[in-house]
């Protein structure tokens, strides 16, 4: 679903990616990233939302709202296959937050068959460049902390940071994607900061290198943080969707345990400082906030 507003969120409306289109030869280099310019483009955005969040999803952003948003400094960009089919979309609104121009990225969606082609990252980078040209220096969005591929994209590949954790941010939803609830991280992205694959790799390498840390967030964990620790790790599955498909109850336990961990840690002197992807489980590195 959206990001700081009611419903969608990049990680809600977003099934970010990262298998090439079934039986098709299209590769990432052939995909065009550009603004949605015509009514047909915007109607394709609506169709992609319904394909992503479900045909009965009531929080779809309509064509009229996207038109107004773009006129007022917002962003609606699509990823188009050579034949013109829309494979992905990113959409957000621009306004004033904390006294400065900022952008709230409401949704990012990539068709499942077009994942692992780098489309999500390319859409975010194009969104970033479009906003920098309008004088916007900060972007916010949300994502589900349990979706490891989105965490890797947001934190390692884009270099964004976690602003805060909000349990059940969007409340009740009629999208099947939200059966586990809508706990969200709000992400903050400095659009003027270094944003390269090398920078992201350095960040993840640093998280891996800094030694062994106690692991929290595993179902059944009572989240007791040993005193005086500078850093811990919160464990999540590498594929929560596969767990949910196998056992909803097991997936729900991961939701509850991760919520307890993030509420306990991030309400105190800790912040998310890194993310380690790969293997059966992924891990957030949560470090003590340095005195300022």
Q: What is the pLDDT of residue 113?
A: 86
How far is residue 284's CA from residue 216's CA, in Å, rounded to a whole number?
Answer: 10
Q: What is the pLDDT of residue 112?
A: 86
Buried/exposed code over 252-276 (b: 16+ C-beta within 10 A; e: otherwise): bebbebbbbbbebbbeeebbbbbbb
Q: What is the pLDDT of residue 58?
A: 81
How far is residue 110's CA from residue 112's CA, in Å, rounded to a whole number?
Answer: 6
pTM: 0.83
Give 90-131 pLDDT, tens digit per residue. Answer: 999 999 988 899 999 999 999 988 988 899 999 999 999 999
Q: What is the pLDDT of residue 8?
A: 47
Written out in words, the top-level CATH class of the domain with range 1-195 is: alpha beta
162's tokens: 């976690």
Give 32-47 pLDDT, tens digit per residue. Answer: 999 999 999 999 999 9
From the list 173, 126, 152, the residue with the least C-alpha distance to 238 is 152
Contact 207, 200 (CB under 8 A): no
Dihedral pair phi/psi, residue 192, rounded to 5°: -100, -5
Let me know if 170 is exposed, middle or buried by CB neighbors in 10 A (0-12, 13-18, 19+): buried
Q: What is the pLDDT of residue 237?
A: 96
The three-state DSSP-derived secondary structure of 134-159 is CCCCEEEEEECCCCHHHHHHHHHHCC
Pairing state of beta strands 231-237 and 138-143?
Answer: unpaired
Dihedral pair phi/psi, residue 282, rounded to 5°: -110, 165
Can you give the residue ranges of every domain in the chain?
Answer: 1-195, 201-292
- Torsion angle, CA of 3/282/274/241, rounded to 10 degrees? -10
Q: What is the pLDDT of residue 224?
A: 75
Please list, in sequence order, all residues whose beta carbon lies within 8 angstroms of the beta carbon of residue 285, skipping any fewer than 6 positions away.
207, 210, 213, 231, 232, 233, 272, 273, 274, 275, 276
Per-residue pLDDT of the chain (292 residues; tens, 9 = 90+): 444 333 445 533 444 444 333 334 456 678 999 999 999 999 999 999 998 888 877 889 999 999 999 999 999 999 999 999 999 999 999 999 888 999 999 999 999 889 888 999 999 999 999 999 999 999 999 999 999 999 998 999 898 999 999 998 887 665 555 678 889 999 999 998 876 556 666 766 776 666 678 888 888 877 777 777 889 999 999 999 999 999 999 999 999 999 999 999 998 889 999 999 988 999 999 999 876 5
């Amino acid at each position: 679903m959206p990001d700081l507003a009611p419903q969608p969120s990049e990680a809600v409306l977003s099934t970010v990616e990262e298998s090439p289109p079934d039986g098709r030869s299209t590769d990432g280099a052939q995909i065009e990233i550009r603004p949605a310019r015509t009514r047909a483009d915007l109607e394709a955005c609506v169709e992609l939302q319904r394909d992503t969040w479900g045909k009965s999803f009531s929080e779809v952003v309509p064509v009229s709202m996207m038109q107004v948003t773009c006129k007022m400094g917002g962003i609606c960009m699509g990823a188009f296959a050579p034949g013109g089919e829309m494979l992905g979309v990113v959409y957000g609104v621009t306004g004033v937050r904390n006294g400065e121009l900022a952008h709230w990225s409401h949704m990012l969606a990539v068709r499942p068959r077009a994942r692992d082609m780098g489309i999500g990252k390319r859409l975010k980078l194009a969104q970033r460049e479009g906003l920098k040209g309008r004088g916007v220096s900060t972007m916010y969005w949300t994502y589900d902390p349990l979706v490891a591929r989105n965490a890797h994209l947001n934190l390692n590949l884009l270099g964004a940071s976690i602003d805060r954790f909000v349990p059940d941010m969007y409340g009740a939803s009629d999208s099947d994607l939200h059966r586990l609830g809508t706990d969200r991280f709000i992400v903050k992205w400095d659009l003027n900061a270094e944003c390269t694959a090398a920078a992201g790799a350095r960040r993840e390498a640093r998280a891996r290198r800094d030694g062994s840390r106690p692991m929290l967030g595993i179902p059944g964990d009572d989240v007791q943080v040993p005193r005086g620790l500078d850093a811990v790790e919160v464990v999540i599955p590498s594929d929560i969707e596969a767990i949910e498909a196998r056992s909803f109850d097991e997936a729900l336990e991961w939701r509850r345990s991760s919520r307890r961990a993030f509420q306990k840690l991030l309400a105190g002197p800790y912040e998310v400082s890194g993310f380690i992807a790969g293997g059966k489980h992924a891990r957030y590195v949560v470090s003590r906030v340095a005195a300022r």
